[in-house]
């Protein structure tokens, strides 16, 4: 691995991986179909992909589903290509089915690679490619600006932390593609339900953050509870006509003089935790709504004499 390659990010290396594989497929064609498998240099798996895997691990991306899928496609493609070359070296050209298997994997690999290039490019810009909302990248800077404005002008603001209820069950039951539709649909409800100068972020996973500017607690509660109801009325429709109901729990907090942004996020998270414990699909206002009392234990009835 060259020093230049080792210093590149996973995003930058995707382009190198694509270029190397476009050259590799030509080498593979020559080797598989000309001069008994010795047509040109014997192609090996391009080295850039191994460097990309190292960079993905360094950037903490290696466990992302899209990254795992790309690695699987890469392994399958090169395994099938190697088998075809072994056959060619024995004097037999690959069959049409064997050829198509390699080309199908190559096309799928390139398509997925280009999708990841676009997604990584969007992520680098601070936009979540799935939902179109801003990500954590730049979120703290945006919240600090609003916090400074509060101290400068006295204009209040509220933060609402939202978490889709039982999202893991949705993924486990219907698959990640449907889970992605739920995430995108939730983001769309949030985007429609806030004013143009408010800000919304995807925190990661199934969590979202909404910043309601120039808003006190009661007004903020009305906005967020309306979002909650809108989400209930926006189920995800499956191809077979079934509907997946979607709800979310919210923790709401209003800024005050003594609270930092970190303090506000912690308070919103605590309120969200209370909303989950109280039965989900509700808005809990930090400092206003009390935690729901656990149900009293039932005493066993005394046997009759």
Catalytic residue positions? 206
Query: Could you give the angle at which helices 176-193 and 167-174 cross, rounded to 10 degrees?
Result: 140
**DSSP conformation letters of 74-134:** HHHHHHHHHHHHHHHHTT-PPPHHHHHHHHHHHHHHHHHHHHHHHHHHHHHTTB-TTT-SB
Q: Which two tokens stand for residue 83?
A: 């088998």
Q: Which two tokens stand for residue 276?
A: 């989950």
Q: CA–CA separation, 276 vs 271, rounded Å?
A: 9
> Which residues, including other chains, have CB under 8 Å from residue 226's CB and lie 6 or more apart?
193
Q: How many CA atoms lie within 13 A of 66 on its CB side?
A: 19
Beta strands in 94-233 (DSSP E): 157-164, 199-204, 207-213
Cα separations (Å) of 115 from 127, 128, 142, 155?
15, 13, 28, 42
Q: How many CA atoms lie within 13 A of 41 on its CB side?
A: 9
């Amino acid at each position: 691995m060259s020093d230049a390659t080792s210093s590149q990010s996973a995003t930058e290396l995707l382009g190198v991986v694509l270029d190397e594989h476009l050259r590799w497929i030509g080498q593979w064609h020559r080797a598989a179909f000309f001069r008994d498998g010795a047509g040109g240099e014997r192609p090996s798996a391009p080295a850039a992909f191994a460097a990309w895997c190292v960079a993905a691990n360094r950037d903490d991306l290696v466990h992302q589903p899209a990254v795992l899928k790309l690695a699987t496609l890469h392994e399958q493609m090169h395994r099938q290509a190697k088998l075809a070359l072994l056959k060619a070296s024995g004097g037999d050209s690959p069959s049409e089915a064997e050829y198509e298997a390699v080309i199908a994997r190559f096309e799928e690999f390139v398509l997925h690679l280009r999708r990841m290039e676009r997604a990584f490019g969007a992520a680098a810009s601070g936009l979540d490619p799935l939902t179109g909302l801003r990500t954590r990248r730049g979120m703290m800077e945006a919240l600090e600006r609003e916090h400074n404005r509060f101290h400068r002008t006295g204009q209040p603001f509220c933060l609402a932390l939202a978490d889709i209820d039982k999202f893991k069950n949705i993924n486990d039951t219907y698959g990640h593609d449907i889970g992605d539709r739920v995430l995108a649909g939730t983001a769309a409800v949030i985007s429609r339900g806030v004013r143009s100068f408010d800000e919304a972020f995807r925190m990661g996973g199934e969590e979202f953050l909404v910043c309601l500017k120039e808003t006190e607690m009661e007004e903020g509660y009305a906005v967020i509870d309306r979002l909650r109801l809108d989400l209930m009325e926006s189920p995800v429709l499956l191809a077979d006509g079934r509907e997946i109901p979607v709800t979310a729990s919210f923790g709401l907090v209003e800024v005050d003089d003594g609270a930092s942004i970190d303090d506000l996020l912690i308070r919103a998270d605590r309120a969200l935790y209370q909303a989950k414990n109280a039965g989900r699909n509700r808005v809990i206002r930090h400092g206003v709504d009390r935690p729901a009392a656990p149900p009293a234990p039932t005493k066993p009835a005394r046997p009759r004499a």
